[in-house]
Structure 1
């Protein structure tokens, strides 16, 4: 079966362009269509693409023209064979013109030149100044941070804080916070936003 160029373009559009566009449309309509409708639509898109691809594969395809460019499909051997089997038109034979005799030129004598060499003076090398050493600045010592002042600290409970998170943040144990604030484990599990805690 030989396809026309228009039919080939239509089949290529159905095989390559219709599935992604159909998938986008199904995605946009997913709230209005049931899941069975979505599956049926996806199956229909795949069936259309498969039928178009099989039709292209089993047909003799014409060359595709895009502007001034003509593409010969690699998957259509009948068209290529038809192009290769066309006979070339007979071209007229051209006979070359008769050769014209050429004369050989006689060699001419070239005069010899003699040159006298004069001594040339070589300039004395100029001394290069020695590079002066550059002084590198001495690095200043970086001050070491002072350790935090020892003693209890105060922390106001924020929304979402837990006793475990507060203990990990300050590097202390949960038991130490409970003892410093005279809290029971049950009270430690029920912290209030804005409650002040002493961090040992």
Structure 2
């Protein structure tokens, strides 16, 4: 999994209230070119959503599980077909127990948490919640951690995505500004429109 090669440098975060709507959301995003998605395990029947999306999208799709809190969560997500795992932080259970050998995005906010995530072997540090410090905080973190890949998550819209990428984020994780209410049964045409707007905004940045 190469974070700098994600389409539009974007990881879509699908956190829904309805399993069928969440599945439709993942599939519509893929149709619209936003092909990297994580399904939060807080979504009802999230493992079913991952299983079905994997069947639809094939073995090479960038499809992961989010809100992974324990080694058991990680194992179940891997069995369901997740190709990467995302945690909001690094808890003791994950430290103490073996997890599947899948790429991990580990949540961190403070310098000590960044060090812990990096020592654990994270593919990237999920800067969360990024909205607390904004792009300026990421810029400050990159001074002592120039080699750590950061993926800001939390309160990311198109404007802030561009700002984070400008100060060195390798990708951004985006939830409701892109997903809206689609994963709860909302209008899929509106989702397609938001995806088109997102593609336009991020394409201009990447081409710049």
TM-score by length of 1: 0.18
Structure label with greater radius of gyration: 1
The structure richer in strand per residue is: 2
Relative contact order (alpha carbons < 8 A, sep ≥ 6): 1 or 2 greater? 2
